[in-house]
Structure formats: C-alpha cells, structure tokens
Amino acid sequence: CSSDLTAIAEHRAIYLPQGSYRISDTLTLGRDTVLVGLQPAETRLILLPSTPGFTDPSKPKPVILAPNGSAPVVSGIGVLLENDNPGAVGVKWMAGTGSFMDDVTINTSRTKTGTEQLYGLWIAEGGTGTFKGIWTPSESATAGLVITDTSTPGTMYQMSVEHHRKVEIILRNVANWTFYSIQTEEVGGDEATASMEMEGCRHLKFVNYFMYHNSGTNTPF
C-alpha cells in the first residue's frame, strides 16, 4: 500500500498490472489521478480480514477515496473486502464533474456468515461523475450502492448490485441523477433484502430498472 500511495503522489497516470495488491490503508486519489488496472478479475486490491483501521462501523473507512474537488479516472480495478472489516467501504467517491469510473468490481467474501460490513460504492458530500459497468456482488455487506447528500448531476450506466444483507441501493438526499439499466439481484435466502430505499430525493430518472431474484424464493416477504 505504501508504494501505491507514493505512486499516486508522484504520478498522474498509474497502471496496475495483473496481480493482487494488499491494502493496509486508504488510497486517496489526487486531483486528476488516472488509476487503470488490467481488468477487475485480474487486478485486485485486497483488504485482508480484520485490517486495522477498517474494523469500526462507526468510523467508515474506504479502500479508495476520491476527495472533494478532484476529477479522477478509475478503470479495470477490483476491490475485495475480506470478512471481519465491519467499517470497510470499497470506494468513497466525493469527486466532482469530469470524474469517471468504468469496469470496476467491488465485492466481499461470498458468505452471509461473520461480521456485517458496510458499503460497496458510496457517493457522498456533493460527489458526482459518470459511472459505467460497475458490479458489486457482496453477500456480507449491508448495501452495494449508497448515494447521499448530493444534488450535482450524475449519470450511471449498467451497474449490477447483488446479494447484500439489507438493501441493494440506498439514496438519501439525492437530486438530478440519471440511472440507465441498473440491476438488483437476490437469490433464495435474500427474501428480506430490499432492492432500493429512497429518502429526501427528487429529480431522479430511471431507464430500464431491473429488480429480480435469479432463482426461486423460499419464503414470502
């Protein structure tokens, strides 16, 4: 992680080749960082179980942070949150207009046992951008996509949000966003999981919003 932080500080464009990279602290992107991996199944940032700093759910801590006032590009990266990191967030995105995320996977250990974790992608505090081809299959996380407190227009294309413990998508105090072909997916055992929760939202457009179970349900809800 220390070498990644040094690279971000010293270079605008960074390519991460095929491999698994252990994360021990938040990777804070620069004002115009371009972070590109080979592809998300082969270039992965991994948070090992019980990583110090990521275990307090009252103090959410992201693996990748796009700060206010930045306009980074992130593409071809996978983020894996192993179990017992209840304060972990895959990506917290507060970046401004012109920022872009493409072909990114954010997932947890595929199990509903063990400690509950927080979010996959969290867009917050005026954050915006263009998001395309994001996948969050996270069985041990609370929610996959969370957007809070932003009215800056944003656009999301073809995001798949799957298998979270409580709700797939949370929108709170969000305005002026458009979502194209966003999908939520549950399996048997996820009957109590909601597809989306919205509160204090306005001027949102959804085009081709898919909500479904990929297999039969065991109990009604």
User: First-to-last CA distance in the chain?
Assistant: 43
**What are 36's two structure tokens?**
């590109």
Q: Please give the Cα distance from 185 to 38 (Å, whole number).
A: 27
Q: What are phi and psi of 211, to 5 degrees?
A: -130, 120
Decide if pLDDT at 8 tops 90. no
Q: What pLDDT is stored for residue 140 in this prediction?
A: 80
Residue written as token pair 């592809």: 39
How do residues 160-209 score in pLDDT, each as one tens digit?
999 887 889 999 999 999 999 999 988 777 778 889 999 999 999 999 99
pLDDT range class, residue 114, cuts 50, 70, 90: low
pLDDT score for 111: 65
Burial class for 9, CB neighbours closer than 10 Å (0-12, 13-18, 19+):
exposed
60-87: average pLDDT: 94
Question: pTM for the complete prediction?
Answer: 0.92
